A and B are shown apart, each in its own frame.
Chain A
Amino acid sequence: MTHSDILLPPGRREVRIYPPTPWARYDDVRDMGWIAHTVNRHKGASVADRFVRSLFVVAWLVSMIGSAFGADPVLSSPELEYVQAMRSKGLAPLVVEYLRDRRKNLASDSPIRADIEFEWAAALAASSEAASDLTDRQRLLDQARAAFESFRQSFPEHPRSVDASVQEASIELGRGRVRVMQAQLPGNESSALDLAKQARDFFRRAHETYIVADQRITGELSTLTGFLDPQKDRPIYRRRETLFQEQVEARFQSGLALFLMADSYATIDDRVGDPRKRKEFKTALRQSMGIFDKLAEEHRREVAGLYGSLWSARCLIALDEHTKADAILDSLLAHENRELEAFQREVFHFRLLSLAAQGDDGQVVRLAEPWMKENTARRKESSYQGVQWATAKSLIRLGENAEAAGEKERLFREADDLLNLVSRARGPLASQASREQLLLSRRRNRLLKGNSFVSLSAEGMARLDEIPSDASEEEKTRLRRDAVAKLEEALSKVDARDRPEDISEAKCRLAYTYFESARFDKTISIVEPLVQAEPEVPRSAEAALLAISAYARLIEQARSVPAGNSSSDLVSRLQSLVSVMTKRWPQSNTSDQARLLLAKIAFMEERWKDVPVLSDQITTDPLLQAKGESLSGSARWREAMALEASSPDRQALLTEALSRLSRASSLWPKEPTGPISAEHFRHEVVRADAALYSGQPKEAAESVLLLAPALESSQVDSLDPALHSSGVAIVMRTWLAQGDVDRAQKFFQKMAPSLAGTGNEGVTRSLLSLVRSIRASETSSTGATGPSSSSRKGLEALLDQVNDRQEGLEPKDRLYLADAYLSIGNGPKATALIEPILSSLPPADQVVGRLLLAKAESAAGKHPQAIASITALLKENVGVKEVILARGEILESAKDFSAAIKHWQWYLDRLKRVQPRPVELYEVTDRICRLALALPRTNPEAKKLLGSALRLPAYLLETDTNMPADWRSKLTKRVQELQSQ
């Protein structure tokens, strides 16, 4: 009987299990999706049968058409369709993300609330499959279990609570499988038996839960008997369909849970004795087989029945009843159908297991080798990995029985290669394969205890692997030295029997160890021949990478020694290596890395024009392209800067530089989760700087958007202090250029602790800009009243921070700072700033310096010094208005009123001679009036001064017709005040 001959019973459909997804595993039949559809089979049926069946097919088709257009109460919401579609496309982690927020926002009485909760739990369970880490997988399964439990409790009457039972059972099964995988890990050798026990508990629970689910489904199905119109009763009709599928699934999985329970004895407990002698092992297998047999019997016309038979055969293999198992497998192999290809691969896998269990390892290898070649495209399937595993085990047994040492080693090596593939595939057999590999390597080492290349290199590499990451540098060096000696010895023993890939691997490991020990010349001497070898040898690309990295370091070293050897020889050797590489792999990442290195060297050697030429050849990787563009942009910038400002080429170069830098930013791959790299950080700093220079603060702001958060959260990898402070400076400058003083100030306050002690000119200049901007904004907002006390405090703190910085403060800047201190009334700090630099000031700034010093001394209460300083300055600069005004003010603040009066009168006399009358005349008149008003009445000069002070403005008001209006009103007011005295 072939599968195509299977006839449909009335009221039942043929269930086909579609080819599994590439990642589905042999024990993951439920994940393949039980998609049921009807196929009408007419062969050999009576006319009445045909009639009944054709009716059935019509009903099914109508139901399918109806389902495509109509709304199902369970699936009516587009949102539910969306999450289910996402889940079915293997995007379960995204469903979890989506529903995490959605659940919070959904009203408690929403009609889709229950379905959303169900989907949430199902998505958690499904996303556990995507988790590569076993602990994560376990955590997600635990969460899914809790979510389903909560769903059942919250919505006990919901139609999907039955589905939830099936899901819960599947979660238990999943938890058991995680435990099995943990137990099989080589690192869990000591706790393996405990973990196996826990796994069996989970499997038992899964089996029981599936049985309960089956009972519930059967109960519900019993209420849905009789004829259902696919159109009129569509929701119930579809519900019955779903329940039927779930029933089959629950029954199958309950058997699988028992099988896995038994299998855990065979794969874990076998280390403490023959599992087949254990009663529990046999009982579980018999029970499991009973379930599969029943399934095969009840669903013999459906694909589910075929899987029942297949797994029944699997149980028989485990029970060593091979004749029966082979008979079943032979009958299953006869089902040839394109849709059953995946099933047939599983049959083949079990067939090999049977042959292996019967000790026919030679046949296993003979059958498996061509099969694996033919089915390479299926290598991600569990059946494929199962075949690899079975073959590896057979090869090991064959190797153990082989007499010739060479043959033994060949078989072990082939087995090792297969085990390596299985363990890397991360399937359910991965941890078992890792453990087997470890056992095999011990066997091989025993075998090769001589001093062959294989044993010595294995030992050398094992020593390298064993170097603890937390060991001290001395310890690491010592261990590396031992490993290097072993590898060197191994390479000296290479003979024709050794495989080229093993030799290359040993060479690369050795070269890398030298590289780690900073012996770059040794690295090059090992890997360069590998790269240049003709024909190409294994791992030559890896060797090429090592070679260019070593060259880079050597060139860097050569350039860092001022009077040392020239790097030109190294560069030409590197260039010839790169030409070999680019010829061999024109479009490869390795060649592009080499091109980037050459571009960097060209940049270091200031061959500006060569840099873009080299970087434009980089095509394979956005990151390398970004780095190349960044370098080219900087090169163009430097080239432009070397030109005269009036040169016509300069602007073109600057524009190109900025455009390349921007392109580099857009190419640079995003670093969504981790910190950004120092290289990326540096690039953005350069770009922002260039943008600011070109007067494009908006473009600079794009870089700052990345720089500022990275600096604030310290999310930059290996950032040196100079680059850090450059980053801070550029952020502040950008914001200041955009007029956002507040933001710049807040940012600086946040960054201040991290800048302590970092001397960087850029930061200092930015700080000064910040001070200037604050003062300018203070002046514009407060006018002549000066800064408020709170902002004065803030400004003083900022000034202190600038003042503390040693680097980048020019004498002129110190004068500016002193002036700023003076503006907030801090004379002592201003004095301390000016005194040391006064002699070093250029002649043009001498007057300003001395003037500020005099003012500062006065503000600091050092009146005699202040008067002496300003008087000396006045003698040398008798015509400078600022000095004259300052002297008067200093005298007043020193309360030397008579000298002050004399000073103002002297100045007034000078001003009287100037025609037309300068504004200073009114200003000095006003000062004299104010002085007269302020003089204590006890002062002997007060009365005399009052009289002359009154006369002067009165005269001016009367005679001066050109007096500006504001001065007229001011002086009128003064006259009134004086008259009232």
Chain B
Amino acid sequence: MNGNTRAMTTHPPTILRARFRSAIARVVWIGLGIAMHGGIWVEPVWAAEVAVLNDDGSTRALVGEIVEETTREVVVKTAAGEEQRIPVYQVDSVKYDQQPPELAAARSFATQGRFDEALPAMMAILDEIDAKKNSGLDAAIRFEVFLIKAKKGLRSPPDLPAAVEWYAQQKELLAGTRHHYPSLEWAGRVQLALGESAIAEELFSALGSVDWPGYRERSQRYLAELALRQGKAEEAARLFGDVVRSSTAGSTAQWERSLASIGQAEALVQSGKAEEAEKICRQILDDPAVADRPAALAPLRNVLGDALAKLDRKKEAVLDGYMWVHVLYSAEETEHARALFHLASLLGDIGYPQYAEQMAQILTTKLGQTEWAKKLQVPSP
């Protein structure tokens, strides 16, 4: 049996009580197993606190024992004995009782984008965990390692193969867990960045097979992005348009629609319809769904910059587009690098060569590992 004690506080008596309860639960499960199958049957039970995502974006904590974890849902048995089935898309995070305190520090490094520190910390934790006893935690950490490697690779393309390799090793293990669909999404993003269109398409299509609200749109959006990367701007604009017109309710779907609108504008820029793209971008700026969300505002301002630059309105491209990303949304590293790249050339064109130099310097020193920095160093023919 993989179950362990339940302890939501560090107070020793509470831990003991929880362990005692967990031990009873273990005996019960074994008994049940014998009764049902006539032999020893192991059922996973992990005590944990599950942060459940509400519709409005807030979270609530659900404390109990995870009695079942599939690719689509997590079943939590609360202290009152009630079983709650939480769809995976509503699971914001899970705090396992068995998780070592170092995990919080490792996660914090990852959240801050300090991947080079987060990765060894995670791997060290992984080495110490007994995977057989704590398979839920083990899978969660393996997935988090994949996330770190994927994010690192997306920031610095030479690191992408490491993410692919790790995913290939963990794929089977993750396939039966709640990390299955999220890992498909990230694996798709990695393959997309590597230019492996066929594999990315397969992964994104699989992501669309799940019936969670907004996931079909997400899958379609990624497919549209794929088309865009392949230079099929017209097709991409059409696919993004399909997402924009979808009527699925819920905040995830709404968010996907907003991102798709930005993608649509980008596709229009690439297909030479910069005026139309500008119009869309300015409309999205007024959309409350993206307000205060740099993850959308950063690419949006960049696309607006692209459209204006294409229309040869360079000053507007700088001041209405790219500069916003530099001064307000610099936490979005890839988008920041993209903005700096364009600022480094456009600011010189509009009579501010000293700032252009400054931007190039920031790009090469602070975001030197990004593809944009490399692009700046080696001008394309």
What's the minimum C-beta distance from B296 to chain A, rounded to whole angstroms? 13
The residues in A between 649 and 696 inclusive whose CB is less than 8 angstroms from any CB of B are: 659, 662-663, 666-667, 669-670, 672-673
Q: How many residues of A contact B (CB 8 A)?
A: 21
Q: Which residues on A sit within 8 Å (CB–CB) of B315?
A: 97
Stretch touching chain B among A80-88, A466-474, A487-495: A80-88
Which chain B positions have C-beta within 8 A of A85?
Answer: 327-328
A172-205 near B? 1/0 per residue, CB < 8 Å: 0000000000000000000000000000000000
Partner of A622 from the list B323, B328, B351, B379 (CB cut-off 8 Å) is B379
- Return chain A residues, CB-CB under 8 Å to B349: 670, 672
Q: What residues on A are CB-neighbors of B348 within 8 Å?
A: 669-670, 672
Contact A94 B318 (CB under 8 A): yes
How does the 8 Å CB contact mask read for B360-381 relative to A, with 1 for contact and 0 for none?
0000000000000000000111
Main secondary structure on A side of the interface with B: helix
Tell me if B168 is interfacial: C-beta within 8 Å of chain A: no
Query: In whole angstroms, how far apart are the Cα atoms of A78 and B345 in the complex?
Result: 26
CB distance from A619 to the nearest CB of B (A): 10
Smallest CB separation, B375 vs chain A (Å): 13
A691-737 contacts to B, CB under 8 A, are: none
Q: Are B379 and A91 in contact (CB under 8 A)?
A: no
Asked if A82 and B328 make an inter-chain contact with CB atoms under 8 angstroms apart, the answer reads yes
Most buried by B among A86, A663, A672, A673: A672
**A124 → chain B, closest Cβ, in Å?**
16
* A98 close to chain B: CB less than 8 A: yes
The chain B residue with its CB closest to the CB of A665 is: B381
Q: Give Cα A670–Cα B324 distance, bound, in whole angstroms.
A: 24
The residues of A that contact B319 with a CB separation of less than 8 Å are 94, 97-98
B324 contact set on A, CB distance < 8 A: 82
The minimal Cβ–Cβ distance linking B234 to chain A, given in whole angstroms, is 20
For residue A667, give the distance in angstroms from its CB to the closest CB of chain B.
Answer: 6
A673–B351 CB distance below 8 A: yes
Contact A672 B350 (CB under 8 A): yes
Query: CA–CA, A672 to B312, complex, Å?
Result: 13
Collect the chain A residues with CB atoms within 8 Å of residue B355's CB: 91, 94
Q: In the complex, A644 Cα to B323 Cα: how many Å?
A: 54
With an 8 A cutoff between CB atoms, is B20 at the interface? no
> CA–CA, A391 to B353, complex, Å?
35
Q: Does B41 contact A (CB under 8 A)?
A: no
B308-362 at interface with A (beta carbon < 8 Å): 315, 318-319, 323-324, 327-328, 345, 348-353, 355
Among B328, B351, B380, contact of A666 (Cβ-Cβ < 8 Å): B380
Assembled-state Cα–Cα distance A607/B381 (Å): 25
Interface residues on B, range: 10 to 19
Question: Which residues of chain B are within 8 angstroms of A672 by Cβ–Cβ distance?
Answer: 348-351, 353
Report if A89 contacts B (CB, 8 A).
Answer: yes
Q: Would you call B352 and A93 a contact (CB within 8 A)?
A: yes
Taking a contact as CB atoms under 8 Å apart, the answer to whether A86 and B350 are in contact is no
B33-57 vs A, Cβ < 8 Å mask (1 yes, 0 no): 0000000000000000000000000
Binary contact track A316-329/B, C-beta < 8 Å → 1, others 0 = 00000000000000
B327 and A82 form a contact (CB under 8 A)? yes
When the two chains form their complex, are residues A663 and B323 in contact, meaning their CB atoms are under 8 A apart? Answer: no
Instruction: Specify which chain B residues have a CB less than 8 angstroms from the CB of A78 in the assembled complex.
Output: 291, 328
B239-284 residues at the A interface, CB under 8 angstroms = none
Knowing A93-B352, A97-B315, the reply to whether A86 touches B323 (Cβ < 8 A) is: yes
Q: Which residue of chain B has the shortest Cβ distance to A95 in the bound complex?
A: B319
Structural contact, B351 and A94, CB atoms closer than 8 A: no
Contacts of B291 in A (CB 8 A): 78
B323 contacts across to A, CB distance below 8 A: 82, 86, 91, 94, 98
Shortest beta-carbon distance from B153 to chain A in Å: 29
A673 to B348 Cα, complex, angstroms: 9
How far is B381's CA from A98's CA once the two chains are assembled, in angstroms?
A: 32
Residues of B within 8 Å of A86, CB to CB, are 323, 327
Measured CB to CB, the closest approach of chain A to B167, in angstroms, equals 36
A667: which B residues are within 8 A, CB to CB? Answer: 379
Residue of B nearest to A660 (CB): B381
CB distance from B356 to the nearest CB of A (A): 10
Q: CA–CA, A93 to B356, complex, Å?
A: 13
- Report the separation of the CA atoms of residues A714 and B315 in the bound assembly, to the nearest whole angstrom: 24
Q: Which residue on B lies nearest to A93, using beta carbons?
A: B352
Cβ distance B106 to chain A, nearest Cβ, rounded Å: 25
Task: Collect the chain B residues with CB atoms within 8 Å of residue A659's CB.
Answer: 381
State A89–B358 Cα separation when bound (angstroms): 11
Residues of B near A673 (CB, < 8 A) are 351
Contact with B along A64-92 (1 / 0, CB 8 A): 00000000000000100110011001010
How long is the Cα–Cα vector from A673 to B327 in the complex, in angstroms?
26
Known: A97-B315, A670-B348. A663 touches B381 (CB 8 A): yes
Shortest Cβ distance from residue B291 to the other chain A in the assembled complex, whole angstroms: 8
Residues of B contacting A81 in the complex (Cβ-Cβ under 8 angstroms): 328
Q: Establish whether residues B381 and A91, one from each chain, have CB atoms under 8 Å apart when the complex forms.
A: no
Q: Which residues of B contact A662 (CB under 8 A)?
A: 381
Instruction: Flag A598-634 by CB within 8 Å of B: 1 or 0 each.
Output: 0000000000000000000000001000000000000
Chain B residue contacts of A91, Cβ below 8 A: 323, 327, 355
Write out the residue numbers on chain B whose beta carbons fall within 8 Å of the beta carbon of A89. Answer: 327
In Å, the complex CA distance between A97 and B319 comes to 8
Question: CA of A86 to CA of B353 in the docked complex: distance in angstroms?
Answer: 17
Cα–Cα distance between A98 and B347 once the two chains are bound (Å): 13
Q: How far is the CA of A181 from the CA of B69 in the complex (A)?
A: 74
Most chain B beta carbons < 10 A, residue from A78, A94, A622: A94
Q: Which of chain B's residues have a CB closer than 8 A to the CB of A622?
A: 379
> Could you tell me the distance in whole angstroms from the C-beta of A929 to the nearest C-beta in chain B?
59
User: How far, in whole Å, are A622 and B328 apart by their CA atoms in the complex?
Assistant: 31
**What's the least CB distance linking B327 to chain A, in Å?**
4
What are the residues of chain A within 8 A of B345 when measuring CB–CB? 670
Instruction: Please report the C-alpha to C-alpha distance between residue A94 and residue B328 in the assembled complex, in whole angstroms.
Output: 15
- Per the bound structure, the CA–CA distance linking A659 and B380 in Å amounts to 12
Q: Is the CB of B327 within 8 A of A666?
A: no
Residues of B contacting A669 in the complex (Cβ-Cβ under 8 angstroms): 348
Docked-complex contact A666 and B318, CB < 8 angstroms: no
A86 to B352, CA, bound (A): 14
What's the least CB distance linking A658 to chain B, in Å?
11
CB distance from B34 to the nearest CB of A (A): 54
Find the A residue at minimum CB distance from B381: A663
Residues of A within 8 A of B318 (CB): 94
Contact of B379 among A82, A93, A666 (CB under 8 A): A666
Bound Cα distance from A86 to B319, whole angstroms: 10
Question: Could you write out 15 A-B pairs with CB less than 8 Å apart?
Answer: A78-B291, A78-B328, A81-B328, A85-B327, A91-B323, A94-B323, A94-B355, A97-B350, A98-B319, A98-B323, A662-B381, A666-B381, A669-B348, A670-B349, A672-B349
- Known contacts A78-B328, A666-B381, then 20 further A-B pairs from the complex at CB < 8 Å, ordered by chain A residue: A81-B328, A82-B323, A82-B324, A82-B327, A85-B328, A86-B323, A86-B327, A89-B327, A91-B323, A97-B350, A98-B319, A98-B323, A662-B381, A666-B380, A667-B379, A670-B348, A672-B349, A672-B351, A672-B353, A673-B351
Residues of B participating in the A interface, judged by any CB pair closer than 8 Å: 291, 315, 318-319, 323-324, 327-328, 345, 348-353, 355, 379-381
Nearest 10 pairs of A and B residues by beta carbon: A663-B381, A85-B327, A98-B319, A672-B349, A86-B327, A670-B349, A673-B351, A672-B351, A85-B328, A89-B327
